[in-house]
Amino acid sequence: MPSRGRLRPLGLHEVTLRPGFWQRRQEVNRSATLAHVEHWLERAGWLGNFEAAPAERRGREFADSEVYKLLEAMAWELGPAPDAELDARYRAIAGRVAAAQEPDGYLNTNFGRPGQRPRYSDLEWGHELYCYGHLIQAAVARARTFGVDELVGVAIRAADHVCDVFGPGGIASVCGHPEIEPALVELYRVTGEHRYLEQARLFVERRGRGTLADIGFGRSYFQDDLPVRAADVLRGHAVRATYLAAGAVDVAMETGDGELLNSVTRQWRNTVARRTYLTGGMGSRHQDEAFGEDFALPPDRAYSETCAGIGSVMLSWRLLLAHGDPRYADLIERTLFNVVATAVSGDGTRFFYTNTLHQRVLGTEPPAGAIVPRAASTLRAPWFEVSCCPTNLARTFASLAAYLATSDDDGLQLHQYAAARIRTALPDGREIGLEVATDYPATGRITIRITETPDTPWTLSLRVPHWAGGATLDGLTVSPGNARLRRRFSAGDVIELDLAVRPRLTGADARIDAVRGCVAIERGPVVYCVESVDLPAHVSLDALRLDPAVPLSESAEGVVASCRIVSPADQEWPYPAPSREAGARSADVILRPYHGWAGRGPSTMRVWIPAG
Amino acid sequence: MPSRGRLRPLGLHEVTLRPGFWQRRQEVNRSATLAHVEHWLERAGWLGNFEAAPAERRGREFADSEVYKLLEAMAWELGPAPDAELDARYRAIAGRVAAAQEPDGYLNTNFGRPGQRPRYSDLEWGHELYCYGHLIQAAVARARTFGVDELVGVAIRAADHVCDVFGPGGIASVCGHPEIEPALVELYRVTGEHRYLEQARLFVERRGRGTLADIGFGRSYFQDDLPVRAADVLRGHAVRATYLAAGAVDVAMETGDGELLNSVTRQWRNTVARRTYLTGGMGSRHQDEAFGEDFALPPDRAYSETCAGIGSVMLSWRLLLAHGDPRYADLIERTLFNVVATAVSGDGTRFFYTNTLHQRVLGTEPPAGAIVPRAASTLRAPWFEVSCCPTNLARTFASLAAYLATSDDDGLQLHQYAAARIRTALPDGREIGLEVATDYPATGRITIRITETPDTPWTLSLRVPHWAGGATLDGLTVSPGNARLRRRFSAGDVIELDLAVRPRLTGADARIDAVRGCVAIERGPVVYCVESVDLPAHVSLDALRLDPAVPLSESAEGVVASCRIVSPADQEWPYPAPSREAGARSADVILRPYHGWAGRGPSTMRVWIPAG
């Protein structure tokens, strides 16, 4: 855990989700996604790579990391809820990984053996350090929830090897895909071994000085264009950018490097103000899976990679701990509800790699059992040629409870709202317990019952999201930000927060050209969309003009908006003199949460709807 | 020349450009671009590949084709205007090419020699047949403007080899990049050898049946997803798509295949109605240089590859000859003025590979003498790693005069307006001569003087572009379309056409989401843009709201539009509740032809300007 932040994270044993939106997701993750991922890792041969002869190694450079992410997910699940069968599966996989480690700690199925390229001969694309990063994160999850086991030993030997090879006097370079940076800091936090922190610091400092070879996408692709502390905004490959920034915050917090922290904070602020989708999605470009320029955020073919959303949550979480500012928790909430929740099907076995905000043509069901290209903006698919997203989702859902609350010397902070039981001790030993009851985000009513409290005063801090104008706390209006209750609580005290969840219209900065003249509909933290399957017969998605003067309403189906229905018609040449669209009949149109889109088969879809 | 079309092309010896917009461009091409391209081909080693040892072969798979395109450009230049020095350069290069041909006609510097991959072992990406296509086109240019020479012999041997290897009973496949198809039909037209036509027909028919291996981009990338005659719209890689369609028209015209012609005609119509930029540019996607879905035409990072514009001109020209419909000439004009003319600097030595319609950040001058990546949407560059566009421009400018006019049994048709002398004979031997005097597109006044005429009636047909409402012919109003004058002309007769060139506002089909709420400005055939270098101090391109109610005017600088100036300001989160932009002062803003943009150093630029 970070040493110098404003807030202290809770452990997974301190927060238990209760039935509700996120508990369902986590349960599906545990009961279905873990086995699904394990099945595909075996079937694709990526698990078998750990035993296979070098020439039979399968999958892309980073295939090992998918195995590690599954181990991390299993470890997070096993900690708070032990299960002998799952534990045996975890140990079997960990054993296969351990058997492949070389005596000097090196571990990668794609390099260094006879017939393979030499170790560290392709730092730009080889992902060897990236894979260690995920191995170490899996071990950190296990160490935190269980203790030292075989996998933790493997990760420590790998980390020692990395420090030997890439430390002072060694290879003075970095990995083309950041991830080792936050992982080494986390391992330092778990082990206390200062060498890991120093190595992470070296990796962060080396990047951005033309350390890696130039590539077709340019060095900004892997953030080797500018030193981290000199950059003003996230750029390049969005997953790489968010992972690196997360690692830089970790280094800054552990080394007390205020300049580095300020730099990443500034990058986050500019990225959120100029380079982030309404859903929280990051990275607009298909070509290089990268951030576009400021305000270049087309909903059409938005890339918004699932893993970039997860990277954004990782980064915002670290900045939340560092600063305590509710804006970071606001973005985490937005991203969880609109990227992370979107990227997996209700049954936990199909996934979006990209999360477009506008689907123009009907997607097609992936052929049964087929591995599909990663960026097919179509229906959710069971597995991808590059399958980073399913395993990343698995570890994120498995550790979701950790994002709900934090503590500081004076009390507890609730950042995300879900039905849950929380029990923790403050640094001075005072024990606090509470239960959160809510059907959020269906409604905004959140009931907090104190179940355990010291008889001294402490502060309960409740995030009021930026969109929640009109929220009330125990009947009194509270402004967006952190609402703090400091008092001597008693067991049985009940606090009622109402976040005024109701549908609202949202516009966009005029510089986001691609959505000019459009509005979106949000309700609480949830972005809504309209899908063709919900439209009246013979009405196309292109025909809707939402009338912002008619108040939105709600029905059992979703949010109801009044739209004019126009009649788009082909012209020989689509650039006529400007004209007003002809008047047309009106119709009520149903919008539903974006995170469920394409859940009822192929449909076309829009988040941003032309107003008029 | 095509056998069964409505119109007959003229030869380059029949049309001579006189000083004006296009003659300047052609002169720069001859005097500067040809030598520039030759210099870079030598420097990059792509010319030297024809002598080099196999292991020293340089450049991408298709590097040979750039040499052939230079030869084609030289041949077109040499025909109407012989020049001993240029002829010697042409012959020297042709000799180097000829020396590299194998005894059986095979010719490619990248395959088949010791240490290289075997011939035709990578039809998806190898470009061997594509290279032959450009070799043959160069030879056709030479045969048409000079006669049979060494290069023509090389091309015939190569074509015979292709027929031997890919004919009935041979390799039943196609090339990943179409180009051999139109080339073989052209060679058939020059030589009368029916075998070449049949081979072209086979290549057209084979494609679209899963003939090539599947690739990450999908088979639509090289149009192997659907048979040509089954497709409704162009799709996939835009250069491949337009070249293939051009070849299919050639095959259809020579074989009398009305179904095939109708199919390509339908594809053109749907592509123009739904997948074409205002500039005529085609292909919106960077990732695969491909057409997007219908109406997915973001001006931001528009790919609009120069070569796709040239491919579109090739296709429209063939459909114009087939049908005689002025819509094809309309699109040729639009594309020449707004893609082809844009893609080269005034001095003929720097080029755009992509032609974006919205530049958000200042470009940077390519380092002197550097080869730049192809798709850097920045300033024009002297050469690219993939350098198809400079050579394609060179051959297009060299043959530009051919697009001005055609003939049929009854007379002459003028399709493009430029100062020129035209002299031709109708099939029945009647000789016609005329002079076109105009400063088009600066003004719309076109004066046609008959210099030679039979004493029998014939028809002079003049295209009135679709935008030219209010045009007059000898003082009488004429509608867009073909205006026909049939009479007994006398030498010295003067016809006055006035195309009413004045600035106008243009809108867009509402389904082109990316330009909703914007207008563009056109003037005659020329698309205008606003550049940051023309804005008042302290006004950003993002601040302009063009007031469509204020009439446009003209000044010596360009077109003047009245804009409100708003003040975009960063917000922490760029998606607030919808609101109206605050009132603001107005300013007159200068717009200039898009084809000249970035000609005065780095600037930001917009074609589509928010209205309001």
Q: How many CA atoms lie within 13 A of B339 on its CB side?
A: 32
Is A510–B373 a contact, with Cβ atoms under 8 angstroms apart? no
- 3-class DSSP state for residue B485? strand
What interhelical angle do A63-78 and A388-398 show, nearest 10? 20
Nearest CA in chain A to B578: A507
How close does chain B come to A508, measured CA to CA in Å? 4
Hey, which bits of A83-139 come out as E strands?
none
Q: Decide if pLDDT at A98 tops 90.
A: yes
| In a domain? residue A1 | no
Is B298–A294 a contact, with Cβ atoms under 8 angstroms apart? no
Handedness of CA B10, B16, B21, B25 (dihedral sign): positive
The dihedrals phi and psi of A511, each to the nearest 5 degrees, come to -80, -10
Amino acid at A403: Y
Q: Which residues of B touch A278 (CB under 8 A)?
A: 575
The arithmetic mean of pLDDT across residues B464-472, rounded, is: 97
Q: Decide if pLDDT at A253 tops 60.
A: yes
Using 50, 70 and 90 to split pLDDT, how confident is the model at A364? confident
Domain boundary among the residues B183, B200, B217 is at B200
Q: Decide if pLDDT at A372 tops 90.
A: no
Domain count, chain A: 3
Using 50, 70 and 90 to split pLDDT, how confident is the model at B372? confident
Q: Give this prediction's pTM.
A: 0.95
The arithmetic mean of pLDDT across residues B170-189, rounded, is: 98
Do A537 and A487 belong to one domain? Answer: no
Q: Which residues of B touch A285 (CB under 8 A)?
A: 286-287
Describe the strand order of the beta sheet including A420-425 as a list of residue ranges.
A15-17, A420-425, A431-438, A445-452, A494-498, A472-473, A476-477
Task: Output the six-digit token pair for B209.
Answer: 């049946």
- 3-class DSSP state for residue B406? strand
Q: Provide the pLDDT for residue A570.
A: 83
Is A516–B576 a contact, with Cβ atoms under 8 angstroms apart? no
Is B548–A578 a contact, with Cβ atoms under 8 angstroms apart? yes
Amino acid at B297: L
Do A238 and A89 belong to one domain? Answer: yes
Q: Which residues of B touch A301 (CB under 8 A)?
A: 292, 296
How close does chain B come to A504, measured CA to CA in Å? 8
Do A418 and A335 belong to one domain? Answer: no
The arithmetic mean of pLDDT across residues B477-483, rounded, is: 97
pLDDT in tens, B215-239: 989 999 999 999 999 999 999 999 9
CA pair distance A263, A198, nearest whole angstrom: 19
Q: Provide the pLDDT for residue A194.
A: 98
ipTM: 0.93
Q: Provide the pLDDT for residue A43.
A: 96
Using 50, 70 and 90 to split pLDDT, how confident is the model at B538? confident
| In a domain? residue A60 | yes
Q: Could you give the C-alpha distances from A598 to A573, A601, A605, in angstroms and in order?
A: 32, 5, 8
Do A387 and A446 belong to one domain? Answer: no
Is B572–A327 a contact, with Cβ atoms under 8 angstroms apart? yes
Do A184 and A264 belong to one domain? Answer: yes
Is B273–A360 a contact, with Cβ atoms under 8 angstroms apart? no
Domain that holds residue B427: 405-498
Q: Provide the pLDDT for residue B529.
A: 98
CB neighbour class for A596 (10 Å; exposed up to 12, middle 13-18, buried from 19)? middle
- 3-class DSSP state for residue B278? coil
- 3-class DSSP state for residue A344? strand
Nearest CA in chain A to B377: A293
Domain CATH code at residue A243: 1.50.10.10
Nearest CA in chain B to A294: B360
Q: Which residues of B touch A216 (CB under 8 A)?
A: 373
Do A250 and A308 belong to one domain? Answer: yes
Nearest CA in chain B to A609: B513
How close does chain A come to B513, measured CA to CA in Å? 7
CA pair distance B7, B413, nearest whole angstrom: 8
CB neighbour class for A558 (10 Å; exposed up to 12, middle 13-18, buried from 19)? buried
Do B50 and B163 belong to one domain? Answer: yes
Angle at A499 between CA A495 and CA A504, to 5 degrees: 170
Query: Considering chain A, what is the average pLDDT of its residues?
Result: 96
| In a domain? residue A469 | yes
- 3-class DSSP state for residue A501? coil
Nearest CA in chain A to B288: A287
| In a domain? residue A30 | yes
Q: Which residues of B touch A517 (CB under 8 A)?
A: 516-517
Q: Decide if pLDDT at A377 tops 60.
A: no
Q: Decide if pLDDT at A173 tops 70.
A: yes
DSSP for A130-174, please give it. Answer: HHHHHHHHHHHHHHHHT---HHHHHHHHHHHHHHHHHSTTS----
Q: Which residues of B touch A296 (CB under 8 A)?
A: 300-301, 360
Domain boundary among the residues A403, A433, A455 is at A403
Q: Provide the pLDDT for residue B376.
A: 64
Do B556 and B412 belong to one domain? Answer: no
Is B573–A610 a contact, with Cβ atoms under 8 angstroms apart? no
CB neighbour class for A106 (10 Å; exposed up to 12, middle 13-18, buried from 19)? buried
Q: Decide if pLDDT at B368 tops 90.
A: no
Hey, which bits of A302-369 come out as E strands?
358-359
Instruction: Spell out a b/e string for A59-73, using b for 16 or more CB atoms within 10 Å of the CB, else e.
Output: bbbbbbbbbbbbbbb
Nearest CA in chain B to A567: B510
Domain boundary among the residues B432, B464, B498 is at B498
Q: Which residues of B touch A573 (CB under 8 A)?
A: 272-273, 330, 466
Do B52 and B186 belong to one domain? Answer: yes
Q: Are A352 and A368 in contact (CB under 8 A)?
A: no
Is B574–A287 a contact, with Cβ atoms under 8 angstroms apart? no
CA pair distance A570, A576, nearest whole angstrom: 11
| In a domain? residue A239 | yes
| In a domain? residue B381 | no
pLDDT in tens, A518-576: 999 999 999 999 999 999 888 999 999 999 999 999 999 999 999 999 988 889 999 99
Do B193 and B96 belong to one domain? Answer: yes
Query: Considering chain B, what is the average pLDDT of its residues?
Result: 96
| In a domain? residue B231 | no
Do A209 and A77 belong to one domain? Answer: yes
Do A244 and A196 belong to one domain? Answer: yes
Percent of chain A topping pLDDT 90: 93
Q: Which residues of B touch A576 (CB under 8 A)?
A: 506-507, 509
Is A542–B511 a contact, with Cβ atoms under 8 angstroms apart? yes
| In a domain? residue A3 | no
Contact pairs from chain A to chain B, CB under 8 Å: 160
Q: What is the CB neighbour count within 10 angstroms for residue A475?
A: 7
Residue from A334, A355, A358 nearest A522 by CA:
A334
